[in-house]
């Protein structure tokens, strides 16, 4: 038994995975990325500095953006500290500069936003075609929170450009759920076809009552044939890319995609009025590998 343990420990050490297994689940991983057999690291952001995000990599969404959500997106709610990117959802009053009295349009009818958060993206700086994507994160699994890790294709408007949701947390029929989805285009503008998977949060917390206080690894393995989405090595969804073709014949998952990390409030996340704030969403690292 000891020989077997030493053999596997040595193998893990040589592959760079032993140390990763020893990281405290509730703490950030300050070590350099380990090696993954069969893959080469081509890009990462470890967030191992204090202060603002690197503006050569990340930009910010601003204001009311999508889905009739409650939060006002702003830069101040995203910053690096203690080896993580910390995105805060706050309950605060922010005047809407786009307010129009009497408007019925959701972005302009509210004089004030009552919540703030951040959404950051690599749009315009970094995008990737195929590979393994790993994001280690700790999510606020509470009512009102809608954190996400997702990608969008460079060309065409949504959903013809293709969307991959490596992670979404929100409520389905008021049941807290973890989702792993992809979307592409239909004949109706701004209407997507979805290949989605969701599991109730209890699927994870029944095995670990402290699950929400720990970091977890969301992973996408993407090649020309399939997208496979994992959470802590559990396969959540497998998408056959021969089926993800827009009506015009364009397959959006055969083009580069860029990354978004955001914390929405309200919408599918549910009513946040009785939830304790701030909401804290922490991303420990983003790593992109290519096969060798």
How do residues 184-233 score in pLDDT, each as one tens digit? 999 999 999 999 999 999 999 999 999 999 999 999 999 999 999 999 99
pLDDT in tens, 94-119: 999 999 999 999 999 999 999 999 99
Determine which helix (DSSP H) or strand (DSSP E) holds 290, and give its type and residue range. Answer: strand 279-291
Is 13 part of a structural domain of the chain?
Answer: no
Collect contacts of 205-213 with beta carbons under 8 A, ≥24 apart: 210/26, 211/141, 212/139, 212/140, 212/141, 213/26, 213/138
Label residue 7 by pLDDT band (50, 70, 90).
Answer: very low
CATH code for the domain of 230: 2.60.120.200
Average pLDDT over residues 121-127: 98
Percent of the chain with pLDDT strictly greater than 90: 92
Structural domain range at position 141: 27-291
Asked, for residue 15, whether it belongs to a domain, the answer is no
How many other CB atoms are there within 10 angstroms of residue 289's CB atom? 22
- The pLDDT, as a whole number, for residue 1 is 39
Q: Is the pLDDT of residue 12 over 50?
A: no
Under the banding of pLDDT at 50, 70 and 90, the label for residue 2 is very low
Asked if the peptide bond before residue 81 counts as cis, ω within 30 degrees of 0, the response is: no
- Report pTM: 0.93
User: By mean pLDDT, which of 3-12, 36-45, 71-80, 281-290 is the weakest?
Assistant: 3-12
- Tell me the average pLDDT of the chain: 94
In a domain, 161, yes or no: yes
Does any domain span residue 14? no
Judge whether 161 and 184 are in contact, CB under 8 Å: no
pLDDT value at residue 206: 98
Q: Residue 18 pLDDT more than 70?
A: no
Residue bearing tokens 């997106």: 73
Question: Per the omega criterion (within 30 degrees of 0), is the bond before 248 cis?
Answer: no
Residue 106 lies in a domain: yes
Is 283 inside a domain boundary? yes
Vertex 235 angle, CA 230 and 241, to 5°: 85
Residue 21: pLDDT band with limits 50, 70, 90: low
> Is there a domain that residue 251 lies in?
yes
22 confidence band (pLDDT: 50, 70, 90): confident
Domains of the chain: total: 1
* Residue 144 covered by a domain: yes
Q: Which residues have CB under 8 Å from 88's CB, separation 6+?
A: 77, 78, 117, 118, 263, 278, 279, 280, 281
Q: How confident is the model at residue 17 (pLDDT cuts 50, 70, 90)?
A: very low
């Amino acid at each position: 038994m000891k020989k077997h343990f030493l053999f596997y420990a040595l193998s893990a050490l040589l592959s760079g995975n032993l140390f990763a297994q020893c990281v405290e689940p509730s703490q950030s991983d300050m070590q350099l990325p380990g090696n993954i057999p069969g893959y080469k690291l081509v890009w990462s952001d470890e967030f191992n500095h204090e202060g603002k995000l690197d503006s050569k990599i990340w930009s910010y969404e601003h204001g009311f953006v999508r889905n009739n959500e409650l939060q006002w997106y702003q830069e101040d709610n995203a910053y690096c500290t203690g080896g993580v990117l910390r995105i805060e959802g706050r309950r605060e009053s922010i005047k809407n500069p786009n307010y129009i009295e009497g408007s019925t349009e959701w972005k302009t009818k509210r004089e004030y936003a009552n919540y703030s958060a951040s959404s950051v993206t690599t749009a315009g700086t970094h995008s990737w075609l195929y590979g393994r994507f790993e994001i280690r994160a700790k999510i606020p699994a509470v009512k009102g929170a809608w954190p996400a890790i997702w990608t969008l294709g460079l060309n065409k408007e949504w959903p013809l450009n293709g969307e991959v949701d490596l992670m979404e947390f929100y409520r389905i029929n008021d049941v807290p759920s973890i989702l792993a989805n992809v979307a592409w285009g239909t004949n109706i503008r701004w209407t997507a076809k979805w290949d989605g998977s969701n599991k109730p949060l209890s699927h994870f917390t029944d095995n670990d009552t402290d699950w929400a206080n720990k970091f977890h690894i969301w992973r996408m393995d993407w090649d020309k044939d399939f997208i496979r989405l994992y959470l802590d090595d559990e396969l959540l969804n497998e998408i056959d890319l021969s089926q993800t073709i827009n009506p015009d014949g364009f397959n959006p998952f055969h083009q580069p995609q860029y990354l978004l990390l955001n914390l929405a409030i309200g919408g599918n996340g549910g009513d946040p009025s009785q939830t304790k704030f701030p909401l804290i969403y922490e991303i420990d690292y983003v790593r992109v590998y290519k096969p060798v």
